[in-house]
Each structure stands twice: as C-alpha cells, then as structure tokens.
Structure 1
C-alpha cells in the first residue's frame, strides 16, 4: 500500500469516526442536549487550546521540513565533492588517477547498493562505508605532487575529501527520526484533546456542524501524516535521493 493511499484511508477513517461518534452521541441524548449551556470560559479555553496546538503543529512541520532540506543538501554535497575529486584526479599520472577514480567508484557503488538500503531501514551508516572512504583519502595522500598542476589539484583533492567526510557525517546524523518520541506524544495527545473538545462543546446539532467537525479532524490527521512523512528524510521524505550519486557516476554498462 502506498503512503498516499494510506493517507487517504486514514483521513477518511478519521472523518468517518468523528461523524459516527457525533451521531451516536446525539441520538443517545436526543432533545435533552442543549449546546447553549456551554460556559463561555470553556469556549475561550477551547479556542486557546486550538491556537496553541496549531502553533506547535506548525513548528513541527517547519522543523521536519527544514531537516528534510538539510538531509537533501548533505547528499548533494557529498556527491558533488566526489565528482570534483574525480575531475581533479585527471592531472595525475595514469596509475594514480585510475587508483583514485577506482576507489571513488567503489565507494559510490557501495553507498548506493549496500549502505543506502541499510541507512533507510536502520537509520545508521556502515563501518564498511567508513573504511572505503578512509581508503580513498589514503589513495589521495599516498603520492606527493610533482608538478605545479599536481600541487594545485592535490590541495583541491584534500579539501574535497574533507567535504565528503563532513557530508557523510551529516547524512548519518539525518538518517534517523527528526522528532523525539516526547514530541510525538505531545502531538498525538494534543490532537486527541483538541478533537475531544468538539464533543465537549456539543458541536453536533446540524449537518453543517457535523461536516465541519469531520473536516477539522481530517485536517489534523493530514497534518500529522505530513509530519510523519518528513520525519525520516531518507526513508520517506526524499525517495530516490540516492540517484544523485548515480547522476554523477552512472553504473557501468555490463555489455560494454
């Protein structure tokens, strides 16, 4: 089942559940239910609860969206730095150049084929990826530059290798969930309280109010889904982000 199909079902189920509870409650109480008896102070408190929860929910959405952008930036910087290393290695002798480029492709191939699925499933990087990156940096520093062009490219290779390392560390930090469990507890509890106040205020007297109550609940469910969707950037929010690597380093053609 796709995530968006799940969202549609969740939204419809939430809306239907709220409408069903409201109808059952109205049928049980019958004409004895008088919404005008709700104290003004409770209506004011309900409004304040709704405003506070909207602010918290908005901050949560902004937080996971910002984390998504940072995660995307780490991937692009890592791939771009590797590509720059691949280009700068061209000034070295064939043996050194091919060694550096071969290690770059070994690292990229491992990240795309092996490390990325584990990062998505377990939220962490692998020791093997660290080893391959260390091997790449060792290959860069193994030979002292001999010409002016090599000196210029050598320093660039060192700088780009440091950028790869930094971007990789950032990618590892962004692999897991963005929001802690306590924040999720607050978001879910707040949603239950805010929706529950709809029943406490006895807003179920007409079809219009029933529809509005259902749509309000569906909106909260949709926003919570968005927070969940972007909470794990690489697992859900950035599907296909690993294609950035293959755009710079296309897989070798087995027939070629």
Structure 2
C-alpha cells in the first residue's frame, strides 16, 4: 500500500467520522434547541485554539522542510566532491586514475541502488557504503606523485575525498526521523481537539456546514501526513532522490 493511498484513506476516514458524529448528534437534539445560544467565550476559545494549533503546524512543517532541504544539500555536496575526485585524477598515471574512478563508480552505484533503500528501512548508513568510500580514500592517499602536475593535484583530491566523507556523515544524520514522539503526540492531540471544537459551535446538518467541516478535517489530516512524510527525507514519498549519484556513473 503506497503512502498516497494511505493519505487518501486517512482523509476519507476522518471526513466520514466527523460527518457521522454530526449527523448522529443532530438526531438527538430536540426541537427546542437554539443554536444561537453558543456563548461568546466558547467562540473566542475556539478561535484561539485554532490559531495556536495553526502556528504549531506551521512551525512543524517549516522544521521538516528545512531538514529535507539540508538532506538534499548534503547529497549534492557529496556527489559534487566525488565528481571533483574523478575529474582531478585526470593527471594521475593511467592505472591509478582508472582504479580511483572505478572505486568512485562502485561507491556511487552502491549508494544509489542499495544504500538508499537501506537508509529508508534502517534510518542509518550501511557498513558496506562506508567500506567502499574508505577504499576510495585508500587509493587516493597511498598514491605517491612523481610529477609536478600530479603533486599539485594530490592535496586537492585528498581534500575532496574528505569533503565527500563529511557530507556522507551529514547524510547519515539526516536519514532517520527528527520529530520527537512528544511532538507527534501534541500534533495529533491538537488536531483532534481542533476538529472536536467544531461541535461546540452548534454545527447543523446543512450542506454548507457539512462541507466545511469535512474539508477542515481533511485539511488537518493532510497537513499531518505532510509532516510525517517530510520527516523522513530518504523515505518513499517526497524523498530526496539519488539522481546525483546516478549522474556520476
């Protein structure tokens, strides 16, 4: 079951529950009920709770969006550093140059094909990927340049490998979810409270009010799903792509 199907089911379920409660509640109201008797203080409380919850939702979305952007930047930095390694070893002897490039390609191929699903399932980097990058570092650092041109390129190549390793570590730190459980508890509880406050305003069964109640509850469900999906930058929904590593091949 895809995440988008889960989202659709969740939104439909939330709408169905809210509308069912409204209809069932309306049937139990007597003919002498006066909807205009809703106290002004309740309307004020409903408004304030809605505003506070909207601010919390906005901050949560901004936080996970920033985390997604940071993860994307780390991926681009790692891929760019490896590209520079392949380009700068052009002045190395053919056997060393081909070995370094082959190891970089092996690393990029493994990351794009194997490590991406591993990060999604385990929330961390794989030991095999670390070993492959260490092999690239070994090939680069063990080379003893004999020409002036190779000697000038040696340190920049070493620096690019170090930059790739640093970006890899940052990518690993972004692999797992960042939203604490207590925050999720607050978001879900706040959503239930906010939707539940609809009933304090004496909502009726008119098509307009039912439509607004359903759309409002569906919007809350969508925003919570969006936060959950963006909280996993390397998940299967709106995830960071491995195209930067595929472009190295």
- Interval of TM-score (by shorter of Structure 1 and Structure 2): over 0.9
Gaps of 5+ in 2: none
1:9 Cα offset (Å)? 2.6
Task: Summarize deviations over 1:207-233 as a string: whole Å, max 9, x none.
Answer: 322221111111111111111111101
Structure-1 residue corresponding to 2:228: 228
Structure-2 residue corresponding to 1:72: 72
Structure-1 residue corresponding to 2:4: 4
* 1:90-105 mapped onto 2 (5 Å cutoff): 90-105=90-105
Distance 2:139 2:200 in 1: 69
Structure-2 residue corresponding to 1:195: 195
Distance 2:191 2:243 in 1: 37
1:197 Cα offset (Å)? 0.7
Distance 1:31 1:214 in 2: 25
Distance 1:160 1:147 in 2: 20
1:109 Cα offset (Å)? 2.3
1:167 Cα offset (Å)? 0.9
Task: Summarize deviations over 1:69-90 as a string: whole Å, max 9, x none.
Answer: 1111111111111111011111
Structure-1 residue corresponding to 2:145: 145
Task: Summarize deviations over 1:88-117 as a string: whole Å, max 9, x none.
Answer: 111001121122112212222222232221
* 1:131 and 2:131 are equivalent in the alignment: yes
TM-score (norm 2): 0.94
* 1:169 and 2:169 are equivalent in the alignment: yes
Distance 1:2 1:184 in 2: 21
Gaps of 5+ in 1: 250-256
Task: Summarize deviations over 1:16-67 as a string: whole Å, max 9, x none.
Answer: 2211110100101232433222221121111000000000001111111111
Contact 2:71/2:240 (<8 A) preserved: no
* 1:112 and 2:118 are equivalent in the alignment: no
1:118 Cα offset (Å)? 1.0
SS at match of 2:30: helix
SS at match of 2:146: coil
Distance 1:238 1:47 in 2: 32
Structure-2 residue corresponding to 1:52: 52
Contact 2:232/2:239 (<8 A) preserved: no
Structure-2 residue corresponding to 1:217: 217
Moved more, 56-65 or 4-13: 4-13
Moved more, 236-245 or 170-179: 236-245
TM-score (norm 1): 0.91
Distance 1:202 1:167 in 2: 55
- Seen in structure 2, the aligned counterparts of structure 1 residues 84 and 127 have a Cα distance that, compared at 3 Å, is same
Distance 2:76 2:104 in 1: 15
SS at match of 2:236: helix
